[in-house]
C-alpha cells in the first residue's frame, strides 16, 4: 500500500515542497517542531534507515548533502539538527525513510 510520502511524491497529496530533484524531495512538516522543520525523503521507497542497503550508499550521501545545501538556503546559519526516527522505539510514524531538518531556535538535548 502506498505511504503518505509516496502520495506526496506523486502529487496525490499537497505539500509545501522546498526542493526536488530526480532522487529526493524536501517539504515542510505539517506539524513543525521548530521555526524551520523540513522532511527530506528519497523517491525510492525505503521504509526506514534499518532497511537501507549497501546499494543505497550513494543515495544516502545525496540525501545528507541535500540537507546540508537546504540548511544554507533556508538560512540556518546558527546551526540545525538532522533526525531520522527509526522503528517503534525511535518514534517513526511514516514508513518511508525521511530525515527531519530542524532549526531556527535552540534545540534541547537529550530528546524525549
Ligand atoms: P516520523 O514521526 O519521524 O515518522 O515523522 C513523520 C513526520 O511526518 C511527522 O513529523 C509528521 O508531522 C509529518 N507529516 C505527517 N503528515 C504530513 C503531511 N501530509 N505533510 C507533511 N508532513 C507530514
Domains of the chain: 4-103 (3.30.428.10)
pLDDT tier, 35 (very low <50, low <70, confident <90, very high otherwise): very high
pLDDT tier, 2 (very low <50, low <70, confident <90, very high otherwise): confident
Assign 38 to helix, strand or coil.
strand
Q: Does 98 participate in catalysis according to the annotation?
A: yes
Query: Is 1 a residue whose pLDDT tops 80?
Result: no
Write down the pTM of the prediction.
Answer: 0.98
Pocket of ligand 1 (CB under 6 A): 4, 13, 15, 27, 29-31, 39, 85, 91-94
pLDDT tier, 55 (very low <50, low <70, confident <90, very high otherwise): very high
Ligand 1 site-directed mutation target among 93, 99, 100, 111, most atoms within 8 Å of CB: 93
Compute how many other C-beta atoms are within 10 angstroms of the C-beta atom of residue 41: 22
For residue 69, the model assigns a pLDDT of 98
Peptide bond into 95 cis (omega under 30): no
How remote is the CA of residue 27 from the centroid of ligand 1, in Å? Answer: 10
pLDDT tier, 112 (very low <50, low <70, confident <90, very high otherwise): confident
Question: Using an 8 Å Cβ cutoff, are 24 and 87 in contact?
Answer: no
From 37, 89, 98, 106, active-site residue: 98
Amino acid at each position: 500500500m502506498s505511504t503518505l510520502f509516496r502520495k506526496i511524491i506523486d502529487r496525490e497529496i499537497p505539500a509545501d515542497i522546498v526542493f526536488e530533484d530526480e532522487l529526493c524531495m524536501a517539504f515542510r512538516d505539517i506539524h513543525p517542531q521548530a521555526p524551520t522543520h523540513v522532511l527530506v525523503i528519497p523517491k525510492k521507497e525505503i521504509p526506514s534507515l534499518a532497511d537501507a542497503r549497501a546499494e543505497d550508499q550513494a543515495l544516502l550521501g545525496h540525501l545528507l548533502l541535500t540537507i546540508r545545501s537546504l540548511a544554507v538556503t533556508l538560512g540556518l546559519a546558527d546551526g540545525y539538527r538532522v533526525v531520522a526516527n527509526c522503528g517503534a522505539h525511535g518514534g517513526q510514524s511514516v514508513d518511508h525513510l525521511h530525515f527531519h531538518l530542524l532549526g531556527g531556535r535552540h534545540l534541547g538535548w537529550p530528546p524525549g
